[in-house]
Amino acid sequence: MKFAIITYILHKENKSAYYSYEPYIREMNIWLNSAEEIIVVAPRISAFPNAIETAYLDTNISFSKIPAISFLNFSEVIRSLIMLPGICFKIVRAMKEADHIHLRCPGNIGLIACFIQIFFPKKPKTAKYAGNWDPNAAQPWSYKLQKWILSNTFLTRNIKVLVYGNWPDQSKNILPFFTASFSESEKIVVNKDFTSPFKFIFVGSLRAGKRPLFAIQLIENLMGKGIPVKLEIYGSGVLKDELQEYITIKNLDPFVRLMGNLKLEELKEVYKASHFLILASQSEGWPKAVAEAMFFGCIPVTKPVSCVSWMLNYGERGIIISTKENRKENKEKRLVEKKVESQEVLHETAEKILELINDPEKMKQMSLAGQEWSQEYTLEKFEAAIKKVLKV
């Protein structure tokens, strides 16, 4: 089978190998187990991979380089429109050559591919929608357009659209799906010692949408209530310096530390040694950090976006953060100037954590319930599900 991937995800070429974000490559390596030939249509640069990037296992890859495009301002719109014919040509060529077309959505390249795939109704196709499929979620118009095209059984045929969560009133194109990080051999029961000081972690990119500041300010709030806590932040991104500045100004250095990126194998030990994971993202698909933390008994503290409420069994396997905060407070600004999260939400979340800390037996039950749920979603089951989708 000749398998074509059309994606917005940036790749790095180094020594004739193609690297990208490790969770994405790890998943694609499973998809590509059934492929004899591979076509990748994606942005690409020549560069050394960083600590959280890895390579495709298969070396039989025909790479069709396209530019990354954006429509955030006038100059980017003009540049993207100039690049558009060349991008369309390469996507059309890949779709014509392929036995199976695989789209990665949402994203600007995914949107273009959604339109072009309409002209290949007989080709078997899959689309992985890695974002929030919630029909009621506030999202950019381009995301909504992609969802509409993919759901439309007249325009989009012979496709399975893999989405996170089981949503009502969906077309036959839509297939609830999942992802996985760990194998059956990694399943263990972690009986955590829930005694102070309580260790919290944040795992994710340091950007506005992931809201790492919420994690820091939640720790501040808990400290104000006299609870012995510490926070380790794993990840990197544009907010790193501003977060460090905030930590320094607030004299939080002994309690909050920026740890940088770690590979998954190293993160496993972090999950095992930690009590709580904080993730207050504005948007998620299947939040890997939440599922990974639960796999090793970490109790998640997270917002009810996408399928998160279902993952946490509506509060039985973790703490759900209230969604009362003012949307205006979520706009990216300099942390030292504003960027203060809703005090009401921080207080309510801290009170939920305090109530749980005061009930050690409930904490243990919640930790074990999270493990039991998350360990159902292993790499072996994921690979079997992909083979079923591809009918191989």
Q: Which of 284, 301, 295 is nearest to 205 (CA)?
A: 284
CATH architecture of 2-180+379-390: 3-Layer(aba) Sandwich (3.40)
| Model confidence pLDDT, tens digit, residues 245-268 | 999 999 999 999 999 999 999 999
Residue 203 contacts residue 279 (beta carbons within 8 Å): yes
| Model confidence pLDDT, tens digit, residues 194-203 | 999 999 999 9
Structure tokens at 341: 């999260």
Q: Does residue 339 have a pLDDT over 60?
A: no
Q: CB-based contacts of 378: which residues, under 8 Å, 6+ apart?
A: 180, 182, 183, 184, 186, 187
Structure tokens at 370: 């999270």
Handedness of CA 186, 189, 193, 194 (dihedral sign): positive
Do 184-374 and 2-180+379-390 fall under one CATH topology? yes
Place of tokens 């994971």: 277
> Where do the H-state alpha helices sit in the chain?
22-31, 74-97, 108-117, 141-151, 212-224, 240-249, 264-273, 288-295, 308-311, 343-357, 360-374, 379-390
Mean pLDDT of 151-157: 97
Domain edges within the chain? 2-180+379-390, 184-374
Instruction: Please tell me the predicted confidence (pLDDT) of residue 89.
Output: 98
CATH 3.30.750.24 assigned to domain 184-374? The reply is no
| Model confidence pLDDT, tens digit, residues 121-135 | 999 999 999 999 999
Q: Does residue 327 have a pLDDT over 80?
A: no
